[in-house]
Amino acid sequence: MLRAHELRCLYDDRLLFSNLSLVINAGELVQISGANGSGKTSLLRILSGLSRPESGQVYWQEQPLAAVRDSFQRQVLWLGHKPGVKAALTADENLHFFYPRSRLADREQALAAIGLAGYEDQPLDQLSAGQQRRVALARLWLSDARLWMLDEPFTALDSTGIETLTSLLEQHVLGGGSVLMTTHQPLRVLTCPLRAIALNSEECL
């Protein structure tokens, strides 16, 4: 599904990784781990097309990412550290903005699944940072993207929220999708294929 070949990444003139190659297959969850500063978020941004490596190439379905960017973006959902939601809109309006063809009942169900039942009409600037994060995560329940790229998705979630989201990730992978994620939270035993990739600040995999 996604392939990276000999990526090299610098941040503030510091080498994060080089000669990094990996493959993300359909039907698997790939967990990127490493210490702070090892390049986990930078790697996700490169793989999502938001940043460019110093050298190397990313391929989507064996085509250079730059050549198929439009079709790639339609099949990928990226959720980064920042919620990426609009504070002036309500929780429901935010989801409707991202998914204008979605039904109200489906958006309400998505918010309820992530623990925000009753907050549908609440402006996000009146919600806590954790609740705003949950609104962003509710997009996963509405997405038909094949590849999910998630940077620390369990942040600000309690144990119930973590289990709910973990179950959703399993369903997505078992349905033929893929998940590429970073997390400091230990994952429970999963019912879907899991592959762990460790980064450090000096060398690649």
- Bigger pLDDT: 76 or 185? 76
DSSP class per residue in 188-205: PPPSS-EEEEE--SS---
| pLDDT tier, 200 (very low <50, low <70, confident <90, very high otherwise) | confident
Residue 197 and residue 205: Cα distance in Å, rounded?
7
- In this structure, are 152 and 202 located in the same domain? yes
Task: Write out the residue range of the structural domain in which residue 153 sits.
Answer: 1-75+145-205
**pLDDT for 41:** 92
- The amino acid that residue 139 corresponds to is R
Same domain, 61 and 71: yes
Identify whether residues 37 and 104 lie together within a single domain: no
> In 3D, which of 153, 158, 161 has the Cα closest to residue 184?
153
Helix, strand, coil shares of the chain, percent, nearest 5, are: 35, 25, 40
Q: What pLDDT was estimated at residue 199?
A: 87
Q: How far apart are CA 73 and CA 111, in angstroms?
A: 24
Q: What is the pLDDT of residue 82?
A: 83
In a domain, 81, yes or no: no
pLDDT of amino acid 151? 95
HEC states along 116-143? Answer: CCCCCCCEHHHCCHHHHHHHHHHHHHCC
Domain check: are 4 and 69 in the same one? Answer: yes
Question: Could you tell me if 30 and 71 lie in one domain?
Answer: yes
pLDDT band at 205, cuts 50/70/90? very low
130, 101: one domain: yes
Residues 125 and 41 in one domain: no
> Is there a domain that residue 80 lies in?
no
How would residue 150 be classed by pLDDT, with cut points 50, 70 and 90? Answer: very high
Residue with tokens 């000999």: 6
Statement to judge: residues 149 and 68 lie in one domain? yes
Looking up residue 161, the CATH number of its domain turns out to be: 3.40.50.300
Residue that terminates a domain, selected from 102, 122, 143: 143
* Rounded mean pLDDT, 4-9: 95
The SS3 assignment for 147 reads: strand
112 and 14 in a common domain: no
Residue 107 maps to a domain:
yes
Total structural domains within the chain = 2
Assess if residue 155 is contained within a domain.
yes
Q: Are residues 112 and 123 in the same domain?
A: yes
Is residue 17 situated within a structural domain? yes
pTM of the predicted structure, to 2 decimals:
0.91
Q: Say how far apart CA 186 and CA 199 lie, in whole Å.
A: 16
